Amino acid sequence: MPKTDAILSAKSLHYFLQLIDTMNYTQAAQILGITQPALTQQIKKLEHTIGTPLFGQMGKKLYLTEAGKEMESGAKILLDTINSVVDNIQEFTQADKGNISIGILENIGTEVMRKFLVKFNQKFPNITLKVRYFNHEDLWHKLDNNLVDLAVMYLPDSTKNNHTDLQNQYDHLDIYRDKMLVLTHKDTVKAGQAYPVSRFTKRKWVAYPSDSYLSQLMKKYFTNKNKLIVPISFSSTKQLISTAQETNYDTFINKSYYESHKKNIKLTPVYLKGDKDFSISLVYRKGKKEIPRIKNILNEWKKFLDNIDYSSRLEGKE
């Protein structure tokens, strides 16, 4: 068997690229759903077959060797080709068979989407749904590299590096007009009202990681003189709110999450003056709708919301 047959499987390429994404064996193994020793063994096999290390280590930090960088470029091209071939084959299959990979931004409330996917699965049991949650940067990476079919994220996205690519390469379906909501301990504000950011510049915050969509939006309202003070951050909205309520820190979340969980939130919800709303959207590569199973799920999603709109479902009116 040629060496390339042993190493250039879709699985080995996927494992290799996932480790590059995290540069951490434990985190990569968790995302892949395998053990850390199993991932380490796969990488060592690659390195042994190639005859040179793909990763180096400086202290506790991994880095790509020159051979690793070369392998990364080739692996992305090969894996993209493999995924494209699979998609091309499945384009000619029936609309009720195949796989659909869905990536969801981790701080978006997903209960409405979860209920839809359950109903979709009951109607089309031969379509396998693979749902994973990502931070903002990783979700764009997966979408850019055709590793997810559909992405649930916020738009407009000013953090996207190439707006031309965003417009030319992707379509989107807006789901819900959302807005950032500040949850505060201040007793001098009224729920649902909008206030200038100056009312909050001296507050401390429990917030999402600095590279998240909402944190990036929030930073725009704070000047260099009045920087956002964040002693604690969480990627989980539930943990973020719980921590804010157990401390004197304020926080900020999206309105859609608040509408679904407001019975359990004790902080006062207010808006920032001048804050613009944004959309929770389904984003996908142009041409995906030509694939029967993708066209099918998009049509079923529209029917789902035509029956009861997203806003009503958020409030549990079903």
pLDDT in tens, 231-242: 999 988 999 999
Confidence of residue 298 (pLDDT cuts 50, 70, 90): very high
Q: Which amino acid is at 281?
A: S
| 155 and 217 part of one domain | no
| 39 and 72 part of one domain | yes
Across residues 21-48, what is the average pLDDT?
Answer: 90
Does the structure show a pLDDT above 50 at 1? no
| 194 and 267 part of one domain | yes
Angle (nearest 5°) at CA 213 between 114 and 115: 5
| 198 and 147 part of one domain | no
In sequence order, the 6+-apart residues with CB closer than 8 A to the CB of 100 are 127, 128, 129, 130, 149, 150, 293, 294, 297
User: What's the CATH code of the domain at 99?
Assistant: 3.40.190.10
- pLDDT 10s digits, 68-97: 899 888 888 888 887 777 766 665 567 888
In sequence order, the 6+-apart residues with CB closer than 8 A to the CB of 239 are none
| 159 and 284 part of one domain | yes
User: What is the number of structural domains in the chain?
Assistant: 3
| 218 and 255 part of one domain | yes
| 69 and 97 part of one domain | no
Give 202-266 as a DSSP string. Answer: T-EEEES-TTSHHHHHHHHHS-SSS--EEEEE-S-HHHHHHHHHHSS-BEEEEHHHHHHHGGG--
Burial of residue 33 (CB within 10 Å: 0-12, 13-18, 19+) is exposed
| Domain of 123, in residue numbers | 93-175+279-314
Tell if the pTM clears 0.85, that is, is over it. Answer: no
Place of tokens 């040179």: 52
Tell me, what's the pLDDT at 317?
A: 66
| 29 and 115 part of one domain | no
Tokens coding 150: 């559909």
| 215 and 260 part of one domain | yes
| 165 and 283 part of one domain | yes
Torsion angles phi and psi, residue 204, rounded to 5: -100, 150
Mean pLDDT of the chain: 87
